[in-house]
Chain A
C-alpha cells in the first residue's frame, strides 16, 4: 500500500516543485489512467501493452488540455484561484468518468500475473515489485531532472519566482505546461500500476489523492524522495494500526498524521526547514 501511495505522492511533489501549487486533480489522473486503460482493453480489445501506452498518452493529453483550456485563460495568476481550478477540474473528471464508466469498480488484469513470489518468508506480488521498481526509477530520474537538467532547473526557477524566471529567458508558460503533462503522465502510470491490486472505480481518485497528499506533505513537498519516504511511512502506519487497533481507524490515522505534521514540522520529514 505504501508503494501505491508513493506513486500518487510523486505526482503531487513533481507538480508542486514545478508550479508551487497543489494539484487537486492528481487523484483523478490516477483514476483516469486506470479506467482509460480498462476502456481500451475491454471495449476495443487492444493488447495490454498498447492499451497501457495509449492510456498514458491520453491522460497526458488531458493534463495538457486541462492547462490550455482551464488554467491558461485565467486572468488571475493567484495561486488560490489556480488551486480552486484544479479542484473544480477534479470534480469534472470524476463526473465524466461516472458517466463513461459508471460507478462500479472495474478490474484490470496485471500483465505480470497475480501469483505471488515468496521472498524471505513473505509473499509479494510481482505487481507490487514492479510498482516499487517504477517508483524508485521514477524518483531517481526525477531527482536528476530537477537537480541536474536545464529544463528541470528552469521548472523549479519558474515555481520560485515567475517574474525573475521570465527575465532570465525561461518560457514560464511552457514550463507550467510541461509540469501539467508530467504530473498527468505520472498519475496515469500510477493508476495503471495500482488498478490490478485494488481495482479502480470512478470515485476512487479522491481517496487515493488524500492519501497521496498526506504522504507528500509528510515526506516534504519540496523533495522528490520525500514522497516515497512519506508514502512508505504512511503505508506502514496504516498496516500496523489495522493490526493493533482496528481497520476502522486507518483513514483517521492518515488525517491525524497530516495534522500533526503540519503543526510540528510543516516542511515534512525531509523538507528543508524554513526554506519557504
Chain B
C-alpha cells in the first residue's frame, strides 16, 4: 500500500514539471502578443484623424449559402475601396466589419448582436438569403439600426429591414419570356420553404397573367438528388417546359435530370442561380437551361446605346481588377446594399435613425449597379431592374443574352 502511494507521488512531481514549463511559455507568448497589439493600436490611432464609420457585413462565407455570401461581401468591399480611395465619407474612413454566420439562423442573430453591442456599428448589410433575413431583422429592429439584406423580398417590411435584391417584376418577365417562346403550359418545381411560398404567392399569378398555364406545382427539398420522378409526373401532366425554383445543387440536379429524360422544351430557372458555381454544377445540362437574369451578367453583349452599358462596363473593370473574376448579380447586390448607407452617411452623418429615414424616403432614383432604386414606407426594396433572359456560353464560361 505504502509502496503504491509513493510511486504515485513520484509521478505527480514528474508530471508537474513540464506543465510548469508550458505555463511559462504561455505567459511569455501572452505578454508578447499583448505588447504587439498595443503597439498596433497606438499607431493606428495616430494615423486616423477622424473616427471611422463602422458598418457590419453579415454574410456567410461558409455554409450552403457561401457562394452568394462571398460574392455580396466582395461587391461591398469594392465600394468600401472606392469610398476610402476618394477620401472617405466627409473625411471619415469607411470600415466594413465582416461576420460569418456560417449559413445558420442562430449565428445570424448572435453575430448581429455582436456587431450592434460590441462593435457599435451604424448600419448592417446582409444576410445573403431571405432564409436568414428574419433573424437579423429582429436584431436590427430591437437596436434601431438599419439592415439591407440580399434576400428576394419586396413590398412593406419591418421598420429597419430593407432589401437590395433584384426581384420586382422577375416573375412577370419570366412569364412573358415563356409566352414569347411559345410555351403555354409549364411545370413548376420549387424548393420547399420561403422560395416555394414566394412562388405560390407571386409566380403563379404572374404566369397566369402572361397566359402560361401551370400544369403542376411540385415542391422539392434542398437535399433531394433525384428529380426524375417529379419531372416524369410533370411531363405526363403536359408540360411544354419546366420552370425550376430550386437553388444551387438541387437546382442543378433538376437541370441534369431534365436533360437525361429528354424532356420537351427547355428548363427555365431564376436569377438566384445566375452564378458560375451553378454553371459548374450543371455540367452539360447548360445547353437546355435558360436563366432569367439581368444586364450585369451579359454587360458585354449590351448594345452601346443601352443606358446601363457604361455603368456596368466600368463596374466590371473595377471588380475584375480587384478580384480577378467576372462580376455577378450577387456581387452587385452586395454593392447596392452598401451604397444607400454610404449616400445617407454623407448627408445625415452617424445617426442610425436619420440613416434609416434617409434610405426609406430620401433617396429617390438612386442608381446602383442592378438598377435605379426608389424606396418608400410601403416598398423597402424599390429596385426596378431590367431583367433579361440569359443562356450559358459553355465554351467561354460566361453568360450571353438569349434571344
Task: Return chain A residues, CB-CB under 8 Å to B51.
Answer: none
Cross-chain contact A207 with B219 (CB below 8 angstroms): no
B231 CB to nearest A CB, Å: 10
Cα of A123 to Cα of B259 in the assembled complex, Å: 10
Known contacts: A1-B225, A207-B223. The answer to whether A105 contacts B260 by CB under 8 A is no
Cα of A243 to Cα of B285 in the assembled complex, Å: 23
Which of B66, B224, B261 is within 8 Å of A247, CB to CB?
A: B224
Cross-chain contact B283 with A105 (CB below 8 angstroms): no
Cross-chain contact B224 with A104 (CB below 8 angstroms): no
A58 interface residue (CB < 8 Å to B): no
Stretch of B20-28, B140-148, B246-254, B352-360 at the chain-chain interface: B246-254
A37 CB to nearest B CB, Å: 15
Which of A103, A125, A242 is within 8 Å of B229, CB to CB?
A: A242
Cross-chain contact B228 with A105 (CB below 8 angstroms): no
Cα of A114 to Cα of B67 in the assembled complex, Å: 26
Cα of A242 to Cα of B224 in the assembled complex, Å: 10
Cross-chain contact B280 with A107 (CB below 8 angstroms): yes
Cross-chain contact B224 with A250 (CB below 8 angstroms): yes
Task: Return chain A residues, CB-CB under 8 Å to B277.
Answer: 104
B284 interface residue (CB < 8 Å to A): yes
Interface string of B11-30 (1 = CB under 8 A from A): 00000000000000000000
Known contacts: A107-B281, A116-B262, A243-B230. The answer to whether A250 contacts B225 by CB under 8 A is no
Interface string of A86-105 (1 = CB under 8 A from B): 00000000000010001111
Interface string of A233-248 (1 = CB under 8 A from B): 0000011101100111
B84 interface residue (CB < 8 Å to A): no
Which of B66, B225, B260 is within 8 Å of A116, CB to CB?
A: B260
Known contacts: A104-B277, A198-B253, A250-B221. The answer to whether A114 contacts B262 by CB under 8 A is no
Task: Return chain B residues, CB-CB under 8 Å to A197.
Answer: 225, 256
Cross-chain contact B230 with A247 (CB below 8 angstroms): yes
A199 interface residue (CB < 8 Å to B): yes
Task: Return chain B residues, CB-CB under 8 Å to A251.
Answer: 221, 223
Task: Return chain A residues, CB-CB under 8 Å to B228.
Answer: 239
Task: Return chain A residues, CB-CB under 8 Å to B219.
Answer: 246-248
B320 interface residue (CB < 8 Å to A): no
A81 CB to nearest B CB, Å: 27
Task: Return chain B residues, CB-CB under 8 Å to A116.
Answer: 259-262
Cross-chain contact A102 with B260 (CB below 8 angstroms): no
Residue of B nearest to A242 (CB): B229
Q: Which one of A103, A240, A247 has the highest number of Cβ atoms from chain B below 10 Å of its Cβ? A: A247
Residues 9 to 46 of chain A near chain B (Cβ within 8 Å) = none
Cα of A250 to Cα of B285 in the assembled complex, Å: 25
B220 interface residue (CB < 8 Å to A): yes
Task: Return chain A residues, CB-CB under 8 Å to B103.
Answer: 103
Residues 188 to 241 of chain A near chain B (Cβ within 8 Å) = 196-199, 201, 207, 238-240
Cross-chain contact B259 with A114 (CB below 8 angstroms): yes
A132 interface residue (CB < 8 Å to B): no
Cross-chain contact B62 with A243 (CB below 8 angstroms): no
Chain B contact residue count (CB 8 A cutoff): 35
Known contacts: A102-B66, A123-B260, A248-B192. The answer to whether A199 contacts B281 by CB under 8 A is yes
Task: Return chain A residues, CB-CB under 8 Å to B262.
Answer: 116, 118, 123
Cα of A28 to Cα of B285 in the assembled complex, Å: 28
B97 interface residue (CB < 8 Å to A): no
A109 interface residue (CB < 8 Å to B): yes
Residue of A nearest to B256 (CB): A114
Cross-chain contact B232 with A243 (CB below 8 angstroms): yes
Task: Return chain B residues, CB-CB under 8 Å to A105.
Answer: 248-249, 252, 281
B386 interface residue (CB < 8 Å to A): no
Cross-chain contact A199 with B226 (CB below 8 angstroms): no
Cα of A223 to Cα of B233 in the assembled complex, Å: 35
Cα of A116 to Cα of B258 in the assembled complex, Å: 11
Task: Return chain A residues, CB-CB under 8 Å to B285.
Answer: 114
Interface string of B271-305 (1 = CB under 8 A from A): 00000010011011100000000000000000000
Which of A109, A243, A247 is within 8 Å of B283, CB to CB?
A: A109
A108 CB to nearest B CB, Å: 9
Cα of A199 to Cα of B281 in the assembled complex, Å: 7
Task: Return chain A residues, CB-CB under 8 Å to B226.
Answer: 1, 198, 238-239
Which of B67, B260, B284 is within 8 Å of A104, CB to CB?
A: B67
Cross-chain contact B229 with A248 (CB below 8 angstroms): no
Residue of A nearest to B279 (CB): A107
Residue of B nearest to A99 (CB): B62
Residues 57 to 87 of chain B near chain A (Cβ within 8 Å) = 62-64, 66-67
Q: Which one of A104, A201, A240, A243 has the highest number of Cβ atoms from chain B below 10 Å of its Cβ? A: A104
Residue of B nearest to A110 (CB): B283
Cα of A246 to Cα of B233 in the assembled complex, Å: 11
Interface string of A247-266 (1 = CB under 8 A from B): 11011000000000000000
B343 interface residue (CB < 8 Å to A): no
Known contacts: A107-B281, A207-B223, A248-B221. The answer to whether A240 contacts B253 by CB under 8 A is no
Cross-chain contact A102 with B62 (CB below 8 angstroms): yes
Cα of A116 to Cα of B256 in the assembled complex, Å: 10
Cross-chain contact A239 with B256 (CB below 8 angstroms): no
Cross-chain contact A104 with B66 (CB below 8 angstroms): yes
Residue of A nearest to B226 (CB): A1
| Besides A118-B262, A207-B223, A251-B223, 6 other A-B contacts (C-beta < 8 A) | A102-B66, A114-B260, A116-B259, A125-B260, A201-B249, A243-B229
Q: List 15 A-B contacts (CB under 8 A).
A: A1-B225, A103-B63, A103-B64, A103-B103, A104-B64, A104-B67, A104-B277, A109-B283, A199-B249, A238-B226, A242-B229, A247-B230, A248-B220, A248-B221, A250-B221
> Which 3 A-B pairs rank lowest in CB-CB distance, beginning with the nearest?
A198-B225, A105-B249, A239-B229
